[in-house]
Chains A and B, each alone.
Chain A
Amino acid sequence: MITKEEIFQAVATVIDPEVGFNLVEMGLIYDAEANEAGKAIVTMTLSTRACPLHQMIVQWVKEAVEKIDAIDECEVNLVWEPVWNITMADDNVQKALGG
């Protein structure tokens, strides 16, 4: 069965074009799981509710996960709690954005 780490690895190929970092290192991916039937569920958030790219980002996440051989379908669960903040991002992101 596909592990959470493998799904995170796939999602890490999706880059936010505004900040230039991938969604995993931005801390936007909260959880991921897959069942034996080949269905994956990714729980994620966005840095702002008003993100004009959010439809596309959700679509990119689905496409990236569905590229994994054993995954046939991916559902993205977009949540707003907990609210994302910069401390959820990796150190390299915090350092780079910190100017």
Chain B
Amino acid sequence: MTAISQDFAPPFKLIAPYFIIGVVIYLLSAIFALFVDVSTLYFLDVAVLGWVHLFLLGFVMMIIFGAMAQLVPVVLEVGHFGVEFFYIIWPLLLIGTILMCIGFVYVPALLPYGGTVVLISMLIFVLDIFLTIKKVKKFNFAMTSVIIANIFLFLGVIVGIILALGYAGQIEVDINTLLKAHVYLVVGGYIIVTIMGLSMVLLPMFGLSHHFSCKPVEIALGTMSGGVILVVIASLFDIAIVAYLGYLFSIVSLFLYFYQGAILYATRARKEHDIYAISLYYSFSALIVSLILGIAYLLNGAQSILLSSGWLMMTGFFGFLITGHLYKIVPFLIWFERFSPLVGKEKVPMLADMVPNKSAKAQFFFSAIGISIATTGLLISSNILFKAGISSLVVGAIFLLQSLIYMIRFKK
């Protein structure tokens, strides 16, 4: 008999704070955006830096870390080195995120403190991942991506700390030079590489895709890693041509990842257009539009195009990919804890029964409309349009929180 992994589902009380805090911060980040003036916005504006850190650390990273507590054993097929580490990671990440956010917007002196707390939380996370990986005997694509992603995360956070110290005036560094390296290491190197790896486990599993080629995503992983390394080198040595080569690699990588998504879509057995599926449709569409805007920025250089591309990548691609998966992962964890012991003894609900369909669809509708309008607002630097979109996104975020609470409190 084939050996099977242990500890596939840590207790929900361990993971619940990551999802609850992540979704609350998703809502707060939408409210934060209501107060941003887009008519004069630029890439290094404190409002942009504050919002990006709130969204990426408080929502994206918080939920990725929580999901990894459950997914690492699934992906690596071994138990965590120390699953208890996850009890301390979220409080540190939360405190660090709040300090950094306040630091960017009001008190720059807080940035190194916030950055250090975030660094500690991420180092604990990376430590657990690497010590868990040590137990792995045979590596597959997802495992390789987890290793690469966590090396980039480690380096990205170190660069981030140096930046925070420079931003607070503690040391002298060229912020503009290091910023590109930081952004690429964390967003391209960690978040996107993690998404690539987990996608090859989760998308075929939930869509029941079979007999598909993995070549596009394998090349995508290589080109994204190459792109990140090139941009880091370009940042450190200030070589523009190498930076452009890195951007090109990253864009090619994301198009290849999109192509892999299309292959998984075409070979899937499950063809229902449920909340999970429609969230992925929006996410992948947002990825393509964001990439087109990114290419337009490289050709045109307008800040509004760069901002709308980045916004759509984060809220559209990352955001919907994460919220879509919440409707799969949260019911599973609750079901596993609450109902799996009852199997064979009494009738238990199916996972799909635990998803609040109306609330989930309202979340999708308001968020999708809101993000699309807000992207247009950013593109044409229209405050009215941007705020109209954000208002809709806030309503969507409230429905997301309501859906999460429903799933967590689900009883037969």
Chain A residues touching B, majority SS:
loop
Indicate whether A17 sits within 8 Å of B335 (C-beta atoms), given known contacts A60-B343, A78-B4: yes
Q: Mark A40-51, 1 if CB is under 8 A from B, else 0.
A: 000000011011
Asked if B168 is an interface residue, CB under 8 A from chain A, the answer is: no
Query: Of B90-98, B122-130, B240-248, B269-277, which stretch is located at the interface?
Result: B269-277
**Residues of B contacting A84 in the complex (Cβ-Cβ under 8 angstroms):** 210
**Residues of A contacting B335 in the complex (Cβ-Cβ under 8 angstroms):** 17
Asked if B70 is an interface residue, CB under 8 A from chain A, the answer is: yes
Measured CB to CB, the residues of A under 8 A from B are 13-15, 17-20, 47-48, 50-56, 58, 60, 63-64, 75-80, 83-86, 89, 94, 97-99
Measured CB to CB, the residues of B under 8 A from A are 1-2, 4-6, 8-9, 70, 74-75, 201, 204-206, 208, 210-211, 269-273, 332, 335-336, 339-340, 343-344, 348-352
Smallest CB-CB separation from A67: which chain B residue? Answer: B344
Query: How many inter-chain contacts with C-beta < 8 Å in the A-B complex?
Result: 80
Q: Could you tell me the distance between the alpha carbons of A50 and B201 in the complex, rounded to whole angstroms?
A: 7
The answer on a CB contact under 8 Å between A63 and B344 is yes
Indicate whether A52 sits within 8 Å of B210 (C-beta atoms), given known contacts A18-B351, A97-B269, A99-B270: no
Chain B residues touching A, majority SS:
loop
Chain A nearest Cβ from B374, distance in angstroms: 31
The answer on a CB contact under 8 Å between A50 and B271 is no
Partner of A56, one of B5, B340, B350: B340
The answer on a CB contact under 8 Å between A76 and B1 is yes
The answer on a CB contact under 8 Å between A50 and B205 is yes
The answer on a CB contact under 8 Å between B269 and A20 is no
